[in-house]
Structure 1
Amino acid sequence: MKIDLRRLILFLALASLLLTLTNSLFASFRVQKTSLIEGTLEGNHAYATKIASSVQELLGSAQQQLQYSAKVLSTQLQDPNFVEAEAKRVQQQTDTFNSVVIADETGLVLATDPNLGLQGQTLSSEGSILARQVRAPLISPPFVAQTGRLLITISHPIFDNSNVYRGYISGTIYLQQASILSHMLGNL
């Protein structure tokens, strides 16, 4: 069997061409894949940064609302009608909070809005205990409340004119139900 030199050269040329073409296609595929991944990551990073900034602004605004209310409550905490009206005002003023709780220094609930059936009860939830221990503006880690809902609380202490701790006002934001946060993050 005699090997034809022309056919051998032609075969090697075609093999080289196919190998080069395959290598080029593979390299092109990898470059495009890397480019698409990087572009997607950049877009996701920009979106996440924007969402984080919006959530931070929301939480800052919520803390300001509670700070003002705590100042107003500091001289009116003994008036049950005023306390109930203030809880209602804070909850209905904006759609920031799903509920508002005002409690004394022992955790005894003085008022809620909406009515959660907690008035007169002493709260023992993680958020309530933390608010009483810290006695400073606070955003709690997520926890399951006495109502069975997964939520975070944003609370602010109430001090009287003599700087004596009298309790706290707390706004809740539900994490697994309709809330301003779930609306903002598009989870519903």
Structure 2
Amino acid sequence: MQEINQYLAATLRQLRTDRGWSLDRAATECGVSKAMLGQIERGESSPTVATLWKIASGFGASLSSFLEPPAAEQSGVTLRSADALRQRPAADEMLMAPLFPYEQRYGFELFEFTLLPGYERLSEPHSVGVVEHVVVVRGEMELLVQGVWQPLKEGDAVRFAADQPHGYRNAGTQPAVFHDLIYYPPGSARQSR
């Protein structure tokens, strides 16, 4: 967790420096308090996933750019292990594995998310044109799309416009695991480092 906080802190500082933004300006752009941003930059706070999304959206960056650099590629092949990448990078009860962090040439990032029993997260709209592709790989969950909670079971897949409010929840007694490919239209997300 400390390593993730340090990377997040350095990335946030670098983005602010690159844009010439004060903490006040960053707070306004992200919709996150100046105090919280300062705590994150000093590595003193582990923000929730919702807060990470607000920060990413405010900077026009991908979520994965705050978690780790793009995956290393050798001879045109990138090999990643969800078991090795799975982490709890935020203060809430969701496990994340950034299988393929955002790269501009591909225009997407791919996560494995694990929702523990009883977990619910409502997500604010992402940048205009962002589309999510959710595939349930284990268990059952619900996805809030267009104001309706859609039940999903193993093998179900949904694509939806993520530039509107949406959410994820696990009302069951077993963890729910899903893959989420998040597509960013050209110009909507930038690599931060």
- TM-score of Structure 1 vs Structure 2, range by shorter chain: under 0.3
Which structure shows the higher strand fraction? 2
TM-score of the pair, normalised by structure 2: 0.25
Which structure shows the higher helix fraction? 1
TM-score of the pair, normalised by structure 1: 0.25
- Structure showing greater Rg: 1
Structure with the bigger RCO (C-alpha within 8 Å, sep 6+) is 2
